[in-house]
Amino acid sequence: MNTRVFLIVTSLGLLSLGAPSIACAAEKELFHEEVLPDEAELTQKSIQLMRQMVETNRDGELRMRAFHAKSHGCIRGRFVPDKERVKKTRLGVFESNAGYPVWARFSNSSGAIQPDGAADVRGLSLKFIGVSGEHLMPSGSSSNNQDFILFSSPSIPTKDAREYIDSLLVLTQKKSALHFAFEHPGVPIPAAIGSMHGGLVTDPAEAQYWSAAPYKFGARAIKY
């Protein structure tokens, strides 16, 4: 398969305001992350629930991922940035024109193996090989790789870690989808995500993918 994968860096300021340009002072960040007071506790709770989902979906000794259990395939290639890209996007792995070797994995979002005809979000994960720099994770890993996680929905259905816990409770059947809907009016019910943003995908390589969540990119928050 001859597949070209593009990563487009979009400023959230441009996206949300619809402005033709956005000013950025070097000494001031335009966007920042709001961390909940109990976010560390909520993170551990989400890990616990995802482990529970793995056990729920296990087939004998075979344990599947909590999400994106079904792979369509992996592609090996090379990521090469557009040489005409604007200056403000020349940061991190996008700074050099040389690019990186990359592995791409295509998948279905569900934690259960199901027919591809079932409505579901599709996933694309990219692993850049040979990236230098300091690791942000305190794992002490010596790996020189950088991952990008994307899927076929421009946004996620929950606004923070607390609502994400609620979505996991729906998926683990500790709460009903109706309960979630009453507690969070206006927030899409996680069980219906597939029918909202999924549907039949005849070729995963032709679908469009987003990072969904924002990422820090210099003084900006961006989405891929």
- What is the reported pLDDT for 188? 54
Q: Is residue 43 included in any domain, yes or no?
A: yes
Q: Which of 197, 213, 108 is nearest to 161 (CA)?
A: 213
Q: Is residue 1 included in any domain, yes or no?
A: no
- What is the reported pLDDT for 76? 92
- CA 148 vs CA 19, 68, 134: distances in Å: 27, 14, 17
- What is the reported pLDDT for 12? 44
Q: Is residue 5 included in any domain, yes or no?
A: no
Q: Is residue 61 included in any domain, yes or no?
A: yes
Q: And the tokens for 95?
A: 């700074």
> Treating both helix axes as pointing N-terminal to C-terminal, what angle do 39-56 and 161-171 enclose, rounded to 10 degrees?
20
Tens place of pLDDT per residue across the chain (224 aa): 455 555 565 544 332 222 223 334 444 556 777 888 998 999 999 898 888 888 877 777 777 777 777 878 888 999 998 989 888 889 888 998 999 999 999 988 777 777 777 777 888 999 999 988 777 766 656 678 899 999 888 877 777 888 888 777 776 665 566 666 676 666 555 544 444 445 567 788 888 888 888 888 888 888 88
What letter represents residue 144's amino acid? Answer: N
Q: What does the pLDDT look like over 90-144, one tens digit per residue?
A: 988 899 899 999 999 998 877 777 777 777 788 899 999 998 877 776 665 667 8
Which residues on adjacent β-strands are paired with residue 102?
77, 128
Q: Is residue 2 included in any domain, yes or no?
A: no
- What is the reported pLDDT for 187? 56
Q: And the tokens for 46?
A: 């989400």
- What is the reported pLDDT for 117? 74
Tell the burial category of 137 from Cβ atoms under 10 Å away from its Cβ (0-12, 13-18, 19+).
Answer: exposed
Q: Is residue 126 included in any domain, yes or no?
A: yes
In 182-211, which positions are buried (b, 16+ CB within 10 angstroms) versus exposed (e)? eebeeebbbeebbeebbeebeebbeeebbb
The reply to whether the predicted model has a pTM over 0.95 is no
Q: And the tokens for 203?
A: 């070729």
Count of domains for the chain: 1
Q: Is residue 4 included in any domain, yes or no?
A: no
Domain residues for 20? 10-223
Q: Is residue 3 included in any domain, yes or no?
A: no
Which residues on adjacent β-strands are paired with residue 19?
none
